[in-house]
Structures are given as C-alpha cells and as structure tokens.
Structure 1
Amino acid sequence: MGEGEAYSLFRSLRWPETEGEPVCPRCGCCDAYDIPSRRKFQCKACKHQYSVTSGTIFAARKLTFTDLLAAIVLFVNGAKGVSALQVSRDLDVQYKTAYVLCHKLREAMATDQAGIRLEGIVEIDGAYFGGHIRPENRKQDRRDRRLAKHQTGKRQCVVVMRERNGRSLPFVVRHEGDAVPIVRDRVDTLAIVHADEASSWDDLHAGWQTWRINHSLAYSDEGACTNQAESYFSRLRRMEVGTHHHIAGPYLHAYAGEASWREDNRRISNGGQAMMVTGAALATRQSRQWAGYWQRAD
C-alpha cells in the first residue's frame, strides 16, 4: 500500500459516516476547501484548517501514513505484545518515537473498555506484578522475599473481571481486597461471580451469587472455576517476562488493558485487529499524557 492508499484508508476510518469526506472537528460542517498540497482542509463555515489526524491521538504526527499503518499492523501482530525496541527497529525510527506510539495505541485500545458493565457469569481474580527484589549473591545473605518487611513497596495487584466467553475488564489496585468497591460498580447485580478461596473475595457473597474454587484441591469443580481469568494472567505474565522484561508501576494499567484487548479479540484476524485499532485511534481525542512526552521538563 502506497502513501496515497494509506491516506485514503485513514480518511475512510476517520469519517466513516461521510465515506471519507471531511467533517470539521470544530463546528461539524461537511463543506470544506481541499488543500491537496498539504493534505489539509479548510472549513467553509468557521475557516478552521484541519487534517485527517487533527484532534486525534495521532495529532502533530511526523510519521507518514504508511509508517503509522505499518506500526499498527506490527503492534497487533504480537500475540503477547511487541516491545518498543522491536517496533523501532522494524520501522527504522528512534526508540522514543516507537515508545510513545505504542503507548498511544494502548490508550486507544482502552477506549473499548470505558463504561462497560459485565453481565452473566463473571470470573474475578487478582495477581501481583512489579517490586522485584534481586536475590543476594551468597546464600547466607539472602532473605525471605515473601515477607512484607523485605518488600520494596512497589508491588501492585492487577485484578481482572471477565465474562465467560465475553469481555474482560482489568484494573490496578494496591491489594486484592481493594477491588471489591470497583466490582460493585462494574458488575451487574444479577451476575454470577466465580472467585478463588482468597479471603479478599468474602465480601462478594453480600452482593452476588458467588461460587468459590479452592485451587489447592482443583482448578475446576462442579462448574466453579476461574480458568478464563487465569488465561488472561498467563498472557500478561508472558508480556512482562518474555516481551517487555520490565513494566514500570505507573504504566501497569496500560499494559493490563492491552492484554485484555488482545485476549478479548484473539479470534479476530490480524487485518481485522489492525482496522479496529486504527479506527479506535482516529476516534480517540489527543492524548494528554503522551502528547509531547519527551519534551516535558521533569
């Protein structure tokens, strides 16, 4: 696909209601002057100049449309994520460029999870990430890293709520028990909840029909299991250990959302996933966190 075809594809995904014809992002007018030399438009009503990426997560881009599309295809192609270093090598761009671009795509993926409420049979489980302590060289100097006094305080818990054969919703809390108020907001009261025997989930019995499974005895027993939640954590663990090697605490929620999106859409073809992410990115407003990320003063 050449630059012209990629540009036409971006136009059709940005303005699907008008079949790629420009719509002013400021006033909504559909009449515009075309400025083909700059690939821009000027609204006939408010005189505002805009492009196909104006006001989107790709605003103020410097990459070509073919490079943006190639980056999206490479990004969705990794079953367990793609590192920014790999993307920078494949596209022949700086690591900083690839790093910010990947995080912008993760932000676009997260828009699919905004405001959803889970129904039916919902599996809930939590797992801890981060806060790794390197063991001492000599055995006599090593400490029991499971004890709280030997922790770094950086460990965070990713809790996932996942419908059976449906959507998943992850979020990050300090401790597993802190997730119960969020469950009340995002799970329908008529849902059936499945959880393990951790005491953190005892409060769920007050609001839902709750099934519990003791993993020390079985992974599934009389229909009670959290196997689909465990499948999500398997993907996220492989992303952390095998692809990214380290996930910083402030960005853990972004990687958790990415793993959720990949798990929910794993049956969709690579081309379909690429179009979904491109459409979501063009429908997402300019990122406040990642726009000008490397130009900010500490």
Structure 2
Amino acid sequence: MQHFLLSSKARTISLKAVFSMGEDKAYQTFCDMRWAETDGEAVCPRCGCTESYSIATRRKFKCVGCHHQYSVTSGTIFASRKMSFTDLLAAIVIFVNGAKGVAALQLSRDLDCQYKTAFVLTHKLREAMAREQMDRQLNGVVEIDGAYFGGHVKPENRKEDRKDRRLKMNQTGKRQCVVIMRERNGKSLPFIVRNEGDAVPYVRDHVGTVATIMADEGTGWDALHAGWDTRRVNHSVAFLDNGACTNQAESYFSRLRRMEVGTHHHIAGPYIGQYAREASWREDNRRVDNGTQAAMVTAAAMEAPVSRQWKGYWQRG
C-alpha cells in the first residue's frame, strides 16, 4: 500500500500554481484568510466597522466609521511587509513543503531576497504556527520524553588533553533540554527546561489528571507517579514493555534532530523553542496535504498580532 506522503492526495498545491495565479489572486487569498467571516470583505481592525472605501492604487482600505486607513496585513504578523503577496504565499508553500524544515538561506535563494528577510520571515511563520499550542491540554495516553540540545564542547586534539564531557564541570552551561508531551495519535506540546526533571510542573499544567503517562527510566519522571497513572519503560532493557513505550515521543525527536543536522545545523540558543514548536506542528500535521497545511499557516499568520520579537526585517540590538 502506498504511503500517504507519496500519493497524489498529499500534493494539493505547488509553486507553479502559486506563481501562475498572479498578484491579484494571491492578494485575494490573504483577504479571504484575514476576513473569513465576511467572505473576504474588509473589516476595520480599529473599530470593527464592515463598511470601507477601497483604495485600489495602494491596496488599502479607509473605514467609513473612524476613517482609519488599513491594509489586509495591518495588525498581523505580516504588518509593514514589503514582499509581494505572491512571494509571501510562495514562501509559505516552500516552508510547509520542507519535511525537515527549510533553511533561510535556501528560501532567500528561491525567492531572490536577502537572507535577513528570509530568516525573519521563517521565524514569523514559526511564531504564528505555535499559537495553536497555547494553553493546549493533553489527555488519554500521553508519552513524555526529553532530549538535550546545544552546549557542544569540542574534544582536544591530543588524547591526553581530553576531558570527560559528561561531567558538569567540563560543560559550557549552554545545554538545554527539549521535553515533548505527546498524545498517542493526537497533539503534542514541547517546552524548554534546563534539566529533564524540571518539566514536572509543566506536566501538571498541561496534562489531565485522568491521563495515563508513559515515560522512560529517567529519575526526573519519578515524581509523576504521585499524580498520574504512570507507566515506565527501561530503554536499557527494552523499547516496549507491556504496552509501555515512548516511541511517538522518539519520533518527534527524530524529526527535530534531522532538522538540526540536515537543515538548520544549529538550533540551540535563544531560538530553540521556536524550532521545537515547529517540529511539533509538523509532527501533528504530517498526514495533512500540503495545500491544507499552507492554508493553516496563512490563516494563523493572519490571526497572529504584530510580533514583538520579529518586528521589522532584522533584529535590532
């Protein structure tokens, strides 16, 4: 039987279709996503009035009620954009088509834009995608696991000068732990902590009390037994033990590791949370066709407010 991702059902949009639709249709697509409740008719973001004059020469609107001038991207994460709507839509399609993510350098070459523009744009998309994970609650069977990223220490050239990098005294202190909580055949939720055991308070906030938790033998998860039906699997003995396993959590980390090694090469530091949430979104929607994925990201970007972190086209000092 053919895998879904190899079938024609997984391909419902292409770059060829985006560039052939033209700027007017691309612009109308953003209008339809922004004002879905009014079938693409403009709604003033300041007063909510549904009557506006269209300033066609500038693709702007003027509210009849408060006389405020606005565009389809005003107040969204794409506010103050300079790229054409065709290029924005193409960027979204390229972004969702990358199973392991898309490097900003590759996107800048595909769209013939500066690397800075592509870098900030992809992070804006990650920020918009992550909004659906806010206040998410997990139930049923929830698998939990952690993995460490960053803080790599290069070994010395000569063997006699090398130190045991497993010891805390020989580490940089920059290592961070990504913890994933994932419902079996459901949604997932990642977060960043210093050590795996620091994740227990997050579990209390986001996992229902009647859920069954699956975890490995790490001592940091011992505290979970006090609040949930917790089942453990010792990976030094087996990967599956009486139905207990963390295979779907490991699947998430496989994707995140491949994003780091094969695409981005460096995801640690201040941005690791955004990459972790992107990998979570890709795992949750891995069986969704790319056209629907592009529509989901576009709609999320139209609903997301102006970014405080990624405002403008480069981060300022």
Structure 2 counterpart of 1:187, one-letter code:
V
Secondary structure of 1:107's aligned partner? helix
Q: Give the corresponding residue for 1:74.
A: 94
Contact 2:117 2:313 in 1 (8 A): no
User: 1:71 corresponds to which letter in structure 2?
Assistant: A
Post-superposition Cα deviations, 1:178-224, rounded to whole Å, max 9, x if no partner, equal 10011000000010000001110000000000000000111111110
Matched, 1:53 2:86: no
User: Are 1:197 and 2:217 matched, yes or no?
Assistant: yes
**How far is 1:295 from its partner?**
5.9
Deviates more, 1:242-251 or 1:167-176: 242-251
Q: Does 1:99 align with 2:119?
A: yes
Residue identity opposite 2:141 in structure 1: I
| Deviation per residue, 1:59-82 (Å, 9 max, x gap) | 000000000001000011110111
* Partner in structure 2 of residue 24 of structure 1: 44
Q: Does 2:68 match 1:43?
A: no
The question of 1:271 aligning with 2:291 is answered: yes
Secondary structure of 1:220 counterpart: coil
**How big is each residue's C-alpha offset from its partner over 1:68-102, in whole Å with a ceiling of 9 and x where there is no partner?**
00100001111011110010011110000000000
Instruction: Determine which of 227, 244, 257 is the counterpart of 2:277.
Output: 257
Asked if residue 213 in structure 1 is aligned to residue 233 in structure 2, the reply is yes
What SS does structure 1 have at the residue aligned with 2:46? coil
Percent identical? 72
- Counterpart CA distance in 2 for 1:135 and 1:64 is 48
The normalised TM-score by structure 2 is 0.92
Which amino acid is the alignment partner of residue 42 of structure 1?
K
What is the alpha-carbon distance in structure 2 between the residues aligned to residue 12 and residue 244 of structure 1? 33
**Counterpart check, 1:83 vs 2:139:** no
- Find 2:256's aligned residue among 236, 241, 260: 236
Q: CA deviation at 1:136?
A: 1.7
Q: Which ranges of structure 2 fall in alignment gaps of 5 or more residues?
A: 1-20
The reply to whether residue 155 of structure 1 matches residue 175 of structure 2 is yes
- Partner of 1:221, secondary structure, is coil
Determine if contact 2:34/2:72 at 8 Å carries over to the other structure: yes
Residues 16-43 of structure 1 show CA distances to partners (whole Å, capped at 9, x for unaligned) of 0000000000111100011000000001
Q: 2:29 — aligned with what?
A: 9
Mean Cα displacement is larger for which, 96-105 or 133-142?
133-142
Partners of 2:171 and 2:136 in 1: CA distance: 35
Q: Which amino acid aligns with 2:137?
A: R
2 CA distance for matches of 1:264 and 1:7?
28
For 1:193, the aligned partner's letter is I
1:170 aligns with 2:161: no
Shift of 1:144: 1.3
Matching residue of 1:110: 130
Q: Secondary structure at the match of 2:180?
A: strand
Is there any run of 5+ residues in structure 1 with no aligned partner, and where? none
**Aligned pairs, how many?**
297
Superposed CA offset, 1:207-255 (max 9, x none): 0000000001111111100000000000000111111111241110000
Once the two structures are TM-superposed, the CA of residue 292 in structure 1 deviates from its matched residue by 2.6
| CA distance in structure 1 between the aligned counterparts of 2:258 and 2:186, rounded to whole angstroms | 22
Task: Give the structure 2 partner of residue 187 of structure 1.
Answer: 207
CA contact (8 A) 2:309 2:315 kept: no
Name the aligned partner's letter for residue 2 of structure 1.
Answer: G
CA contact (8 A) 2:163 2:170 kept: yes
1:141 Cα deviation (Å)? 1.8
CA distance in 2, matches of 1:188, 1:170: 16
In the aligned structure 1, how far is the partner of 2:267 from the partner of 2:161?
A: 27
State the TM-score, normalized to the length of structure 1: 0.98
Q: CA deviation at 1:271?
A: 1.0
Is 1:294 matched up with 2:306? no
CA distance in 2, matches of 1:259, 1:290: 19
**Structure 1 residue matching 2:314: 3-state secondary structure:** helix
Q: Could you say which residue in structure 1 is the equivalent of 2:245? A: 225
